[in-house]
Chains A and B, each alone.
Chain A
């Protein structure tokens, strides 16, 4: 694995067992997360982006399981680790920020205790007598950096605003110097002004701490604002990955093209939004060939027969679309 890649997802498949049959929520997905980047992962509800995010920490439970693929994180394949080894990765090396901080924080625990508990759990080598004071000092320093007055550490989660709670979630990841933060819709429950400030903070943390962030969101505008690269998912597959400027200026996959055109842009004066026809397929019975073919304006014969490979179409820009690939010769 090249040194600049922190997390390499190789041909990952995650399946949900349902009464109607197995659903592949993530289907043969490969993606690299580079050190120090903010990678935006976008797609619509049900495309598998959150399942992918959870699988990166092996947080999926119940009916979901990884049925194929490798998860190379910083030199180790997490798929091969035992369940006992995972807690050292979760929280300590990979932090997570969810959409709704109120359900991620313990309502009867003060903010300070959230942070010190995290530090003490993962760093048991600190002597017990000293640990409280040291953990507290670190917590104070941390939240202050994130723009929360240290006095607020004795607050309970409900006493804080949504934006503050989301900053507390980030502080939990930073407390242990996590290498990767997976943020799943972190600003979706925030108002625009608070969202703008939170995004500014993410950028600063990326630069200051060299933090790597996987930003999962449905909000294309948020990705344009902070991400360095963007990955687009459609119906459990990776549709396109590339530098954010390249993908926005010259999207390759017809799904990305339609998606970008249907996003309202407050700075433009176009009269109407683009309307993409159809709906994503039912993943219990995905269509044969390219999954976007039934909705695609450029559909060709091959598209409904063979699934395109996820391949480079330009330097550092991958897409899975037959528009850019040679059709196989008479493969039956």
Chain B
């Protein structure tokens, strides 16, 4: 235990004092994400300011009290640039000279049509000078203004008609005779919440967790590979292997040291990402009003424990794999290129399952995905949220068996001379291929 602790402390010191690792893995996420968030926030705020500041222009070719009512609505609380012109053509020329991005044109006949029970037509001209977000937004603002007016106008007209005919009912009911209300049955409970809202919530949460797990696994793989390659590069491996400590303890020390740094990296990532989400999406109103616990699908303590087990076995197998592979590298750089190959099977399930469930995939692709142990990590973490514990345990067993296999391989490599003599470079591969070539000709 003493030796293991000494090995872990040494691993952590070696890794964390390396500026490349300290900056790249631990500090970068906590610095980069808030900067990204702030940048997005600044651009969003400038768009908002642009929309708020954007005045719209109005040109009227019509007269009458219906038109006057519309105009007085538009002029209240908004900055309107009145366009005074003899024709629409002149009005458009004048409009182009203003800063406004939208022009509301009230054509002749608007008042007459409406008073005769027909559609009054308005035309909105959008001036797309720079094709940026603010320009389309200001058109949307104008449309929304008119929609609101349209709604209340129709309600007041319906009320008038109902009074004239002496009919029963409310103007709202006449306008929308059918209203749909949604309820969702989740884990046996009936909730008065639309399924889409719950789905969005679950997706948000159940995607974030697997992504975090995968990020941590990738960090840990890099750490483990770096730590073994550093031993080779610094020529300390031979000394380490002649110390009076079991090879398994050395292996366990390397695994644990890498996990510690990976955890630090992940926490930093999580904190940084939290800042990013908060600052980048702070302008979205009500984005965080519904909580996963409100709908009763928060993860249970049992689910939490199972997720912990999933993360643990996943990490150990990935690390053992990284150590076994990195043994064949001469230096840190080649170890990192080796681990690049390991990261791929971990990234693929994370990316594919981010957007779909395993059942949605074509059958053959499903089998292929299920053969990758790290697919089960994602499936298990998602299932833990939905309390499908049988699925979680099945996945844990699968990854567990894989972990034992990889650990056995790593322990074998560590207990034999292969740890000292194993060497593989891309140059070797080239030589082997060249040696084969004459046979193929």
Q: Do A and B come from one complex?
A: no
